[in-house]
A and B are shown apart, each in its own frame.
Chain A
Amino acid sequence: MPEKSIREMNDFERLQNSLSARTFHAIIIICVVLSLAAVLFGFYLYTNSVRNQYTEKAEDAAKTIAGIVDGDEVGKYVDAVTETYLGLSEDVRQKPDSDEYAKAFESIADERFYEITELLKKIADANGLSTAYIGFLDPTGKKFIIVLNSDPSGDFKGSGHAVDVDKNVLTEISKNLSVIPALISKNDNGYFSLGNAPVYDSHKNVAGYAVTGISMQTVADMSRSFLIQYVIVLAVVTILMAVLMTLHLKRKLVKPVNQIADAAQNYVKDKRAGIISTDHFSKLNIKTGDEIENLALIMADMERDISEIENNLTSVTAEKERIGTELSLATRIQADMLPNIYPAFPDRSEFDIYATMTPAKEVGGDFYDFFLVDHDTLGIVMADVSGKGVPAALFMMVSKIMIKNHGMNGISPKTVLEKVNEQICSNNREEMFITVWYGILDLATGHLRASNAGHEYPVVMQNGNKFELLKDKHGFVIGGMSGVKYREYEIDLTPGSKLFLYTDGVPEATNEKMELYGTDRMLDALNTAVNGSPYEVLNAVQNSVDSFVNGAPQFDDLTMLCLEFKGGGKKTMKEITVDASVENIEAVTDFINAELEAIDCPMKAQTQIDIAIDELFGNIAQYAYSPGKGEATVRYELEMDPRRVIITFMDKGKKYNPLEKEDPDTSLSAEEREIGGLGVFLVKKTMDDMTYEYSDGYNILKIFKNI
Chain B
Amino acid sequence: MTISKELKGTELKIALEGRLDTTTAPDLESVIKDSVSGVTDLILDFEKLDYISSAGLRVLLSAQKIMNRQGSMKVVHVNETVNEVFEVTGFSDILTIE
List A residues at the B interface (Cβ < 8 Å): 582-583, 585-586, 604, 607-608, 610-611, 614-615, 618, 621-622, 664-671, 673, 675, 678-679, 681-682, 685-686
Contacts and interface: CB of A to CB of B under 8 A. Distances in A.
Interface in B20-55: 21-23, 50-55
Given A610-B51, A675-B61, A682 B81 contact: no
Contacts of A670: 61, 64-65, 68, 94
A611 B80 contact: no
Q: Which of A604, A675, A685, A686 gathers most chain B CB within 10 Å?
A: A675
A618 B80 contact: no
B88 A673 contact: no
B74 interface: no
A618 B94 contact: no
A611 B53 contact: yes
Given A611-B53, A614-B55, A669 B22 contact: no
B9 interface: no
B85 interface: yes
B57 A583 contact: no
Nearest to A674: B61
B61 A682 contact: no
Contacts of A682: 53-54, 85, 88-89
Nearest to B51: A607
12 contacts: A582-B22, A585-B22, A604-B80, A611-B21, A611-B52, A614-B53, A615-B22, A667-B90, A673-B61, A673-B94, A675-B58, A682-B54
Contacts of B61: 670, 673, 675
- Size class of the B contact interface (CB-based, 8 Å): 20 to 34
Contacts of A608: 81
B94 A582 contact: no
A683 to B, nearest CB: 9
B19 interface: yes
Given A618-B53, A670-B61, A682-B54, A610 B19 contact: yes
B93 interface: yes
Chain B interface, >50% SS class: helix
**Which 9 A-B pairs give the minimum distances between C-beta atoms?**
A666-B90, A679-B54, A618-B22, A614-B21, A614-B53, A675-B58, A670-B94, A678-B54, A685-B88
Contacts of A666: 88-90, 93
A604 B55 contact: no
Contacts of A665: 90
Given A611-B53, A666-B88, A675-B57, 18 more contacts: A585-B22, A604-B80, A610-B19, A614-B21, A615-B53, A618-B22, A618-B53, A622-B22, A666-B90, A667-B93, A670-B65, A673-B61, A678-B58, A679-B53, A679-B54, A679-B55, A682-B53, A682-B85
Given A666-B89, A666-B90, A667-B93, A675 B54 contact: yes
Interface in B56-73: 57-58, 61, 64-65, 68
Contacts of A622: 22
Contact of A678 (B21, B50, B84, B89): B89
B81 A585 contact: no
B95 to A, nearest CB: 8
A673 B95 CA distance: 12
A323 B7 CA distance: 90
Contacts of A667: 90, 93
Contact of B51 (A611, A669, A679): A611
A611 B51 CA distance: 7
A681 B88 CA distance: 9
A675 B29 CA distance: 14
B49 to A, nearest CB: 11
A669 B95 CA distance: 10
Contacts of A678: 54, 57-58, 89
Q: Which of A604, A607, A610 gathers most chain B CB within 10 Å?
A: A607
Contact of B94 (A610, A669, A681): A669
A379 to B, nearest CB: 33
A210 to B, nearest CB: 178
Contacts of B80: 604
A611 B85 contact: yes
A649 to B, nearest CB: 14
B50 A607 contact: yes
A353 B70 CA distance: 68
A668 B23 CA distance: 27
Contacts of B23: 582-583, 585-586, 614
Nearest to A684: B88
A682 B58 CA distance: 13
A11 to B, nearest CB: 110
A615 B58 CA distance: 12
A138 to B, nearest CB: 183
A588 to B, nearest CB: 11
Contacts of A585: 21-23
Contacts of A604: 80-81
Nearest to B85: A682
A133 B88 CA distance: 180
A685 B81 CA distance: 13
B23 to A, nearest CB: 6
B58 to A, nearest CB: 4
Contacts of B88: 666, 681-682, 685-686
A585 to B, nearest CB: 6
Contacts of A679: 53-55
Contacts of B53: 611, 614-615, 618, 679, 682
Contacts of B93: 666-667
B68 A671 contact: yes
Nearest to A622: B22
A662 B61 CA distance: 20
A577 to B, nearest CB: 19
Nearest to A683: B54
Interface in B74-98: 80-81, 84-85, 88-90, 93-94
Nearest to B20: A614
B46 to A, nearest CB: 13
B50 A681 contact: no
A558 B50 CA distance: 62
A611 B81 CA distance: 10
A667 B93 CA distance: 8
Contacts of B55: 614, 618, 679
Contacts of A681: 88-89
Contacts of A671: 65, 68
A673 B89 CA distance: 11
A666 B51 CA distance: 19
Nearest to B52: A611
B59 to A, nearest CB: 9
Nearest to B79: A607
A471 B85 CA distance: 53
Q: Which of B64, B81, B93 gathers most chain A CB within 10 Å?
A: B81
Contacts of A668: 90
Contacts of B52: 611
A660 B64 CA distance: 29
A618 B81 contact: no
Nearest to A673: B61
Contacts of B65: 670-671
Contacts of A686: 84, 88
